[in-house]
């Protein structure tokens, strides 16, 4: 099922966005570790690895459909953040933007009757629902923990537990 040029371009753009996600989450992980949040830092590292895997799904798909890989530019993410809450609020905002991009990609696939893309895009739609729910819950927890250092410490330990294989989507 040879990929159409418009779909090839759109998939390459999404591939770049997934790599950009990995890039921004790596920056966040660095800040979290340096600020003394090892649990949240390793959670973000796992998140970055997952985003890299997402990019590679598109990479494989474009090649399997006879397309060419063409990566775009990635802007430097911020190196500093206001707080751990600020980090996760930005992560949530980022995931929402990615969800919107997946939605557009889906709409484009429908416009081009590109049914071969549907299973992959369905997977990403489900993944985005999960991602937004997970990060949104962490934001809620962090808001509650903001004035309780003990709770924040426990929350960081809890986030650190994610690193076990299979814990990520
Ligand atoms: Fe992703
Ligand atoms: Fe994501």
Question: Residue 19 is encoded by which pair of tokens?
Answer: 């790599």
131 exposure class (CB count in 10 Å sphere: 0-12, 13-18, 19+): buried
Per-residue pLDDT tens for 49-65? 999 999 999 999 999 99
* CA distance linking residue 46 with residue 10, whole number of Å: 26
- Cα–Cα separations (whole angstroms), residue 66 to 55, 78, 99: 17, 36, 26
**Which ligand lies nearest the alpha carbon of 57?**
1
Per-residue pLDDT tens for 24-54? 999 999 999 999 999 999 999 999 999 999 9
**Which ligand lies nearest the alpha carbon of 58?**
1
CA 98 / ligand 1 centre spacing (Å): 7
**Which ligand lies nearest the alpha carbon of 56?**
1
Closest by Cα among 5, 11, 42 to 26: 42
Closest by Cα among 93, 86, 107 to 6: 107
**Which ligand lies nearest the alpha carbon of 132?**
2
Kindly list the protein residues that place their beta carbon closer than 5 angstroms to ligand 2, a single-atom ion: 131
Whole-prediction pTM value? 0.94
Domains of the chain plus CATH, in order, are 5-163 (1.20.1260.10)
């Amino acid at each position: 099922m040879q990929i159409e040029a418009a779909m090839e371009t759109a998939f390459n753009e999404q591939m770049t966005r997934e790599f950009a996600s990995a890039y921004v989450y790596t920056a966040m992980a660095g800040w979290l570790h340096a600020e003394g949040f090892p649990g949240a830092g390793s959670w973000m590292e796992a998140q970055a690895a997952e985003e890299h895997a997402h990019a590679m799904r598109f990479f494989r798909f474009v090649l399997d459909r006879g397309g060419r890989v063409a990566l775009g530019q990635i802007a430097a993410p911020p190196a500093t953040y206001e707080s751990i809450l600020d980090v996760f609020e930005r992560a949530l905002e980022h995931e929402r933007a990615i969800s919107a991009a997946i939605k557009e990609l889906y709409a484009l696939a429908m416009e081009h009757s590109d049914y071969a893309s549907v299973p992959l895009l369905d997977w990403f739609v489900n993944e985005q629902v999960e991602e937004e729910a997970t990060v949104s819950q962490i934001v809620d927890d962090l808001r509650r923990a903001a004035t309780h250092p003990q709770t924040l410490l426990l929350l960081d330990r809890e986030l650190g537990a994610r690193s076990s294989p299979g814990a990520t989507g």
